[in-house]
Amino acid sequence: MYVYEHQAKAILSGYGVPFARGAVAASAEAAEAEAREVDGKGCVVKAQILAGGRGRAGGVRTARDPAAARAAAEALLGSRLTTAQTGPGGQRVKTVYVEELVEPSRALYLGLLIDRSAGRVAVIAAAEGGEDIEERVAGDPGILHRLLVDPQTGPDAAEARRLAQELQLAGAAESFVGLVDSLYRAFVELDANLIEINPLAVLQDGGLAAVDVKMGFDDNALFRHPEIKALRDEDEIDPVEIEAARYEVNYVKLDGDIGCVVSGAGLALATLDLIHKAGGKPADFMDVRPVASREQIATAFGFILRNPNVRAILVNMFGGGILRCDTMAEGIAAAVREVGLKVPLIVRAAGTNHDIAAKVLVSQGIPVAFETDMGAAARNVVAAARRGGA
């Protein structure tokens, strides 16, 4: 789950993270009023959407006076902002964030995320931030500096000072050490999976200020943080994804035409990779949890059957100690009986009761092509989608 910039700043300000003065506005009049509070210093009007790349898309505008802030808000509110992270349809701008203009002497990048290979939180930073940071890191990985945090002790002050030195922050080293400590506490205490500050401004007086921040949380830990969960904007989430969450199914709608039903998140990612390798485009990511019931599986499969963009479906099931292949097959059969099947269905079943699963589908008259090899299954479903479905 991600939150808007202004929500992330409100959360992190409680941990002592320094920000410029700002407020959210849902109207041009409110944006103008907030700009008047900046005392003539000028402000920045930022579209609030759950995606990065706003600056390149015209979603961040500088205003030197309240009238300019009003005009910027009028242009942004109600518009659809399209960035590399929104997809072609973009996201509608419902609010803007009006923030005091910060003119830094330098702009850095600072982020915290989970390094799964190390099993620790990693602090990553670059001496120059900006919206093109991903492209620059891809071209020169050496510009990115890293600090792994020991979960038993938290951030080591000496290591944080070393990182500050690598970032050429001699005059703000202690402020940087304190900032890393604050961000790490927020990351751990709130079960975050990402905190990204880009840019982190070095001010003329040597201080630091987080100009923009992106913050994401572990969905599986939201039950521990009802105050965070309450910030979720369901208007920005596909209604099917919301319904899927109610049935404890991990579902993310994508823009392809091949429906995917897979038991296990890792297997689901591998399946999507194989479909891409075969030249296809998945219509969804769906991970059926090991504890799923027949009813939950039937509901999940129904989401795909009702998707008008789907031209073929691949089911990749691996029966384990909890979720058996025949349980998945029974759920699929129930969904087909209710909704109907109008596109080709390819099934790859392995593990516990895979043979019974095949008998369940065949005995109920469901037209299905079976594969034992994942690569062959992916190639066949791509070919079926290209033939135009049923």
Per DSSP, the three-state class of 214 is strand
d(Cα 296, Cα 288) in Å, to the nearest integer?
Answer: 9
- Is the Cβ–Cβ distance between 121 and 159 less than 8 Å? no
The residue assigned the tokens 């689901």 is 268
Counting other chains too, the contacts that 365-369 makes at CB distance below 8 Å and 24 or more residues apart are 366/332, 366/333, 366/336, 366/341, 367/341, 369/344, 369/345
Residue tagged active-site, from 196, 251, 330, 371: 196
Active-site residue flag, 166: no
Query: Letter for the amino acid at 244?
Result: A
Active-site residue flag, 109: yes
C-beta atoms surrounding 366 within 10 Å: 16
Residue tagged active-site, from 4, 109, 247, 251: 109
Residue 351: closest CA among 318, 326, 314? 318
- Is the Cβ–Cβ distance between 81 and 109 less than 8 Å? no
Cis peptide leading into residue 199 (ω within 30°): yes
Taking the C-alpha atoms of 91, 92, 94 and 99 in order, what is their torsion angle to the nearest 10 degrees?
60
Catalytically annotated residues = 109, 196
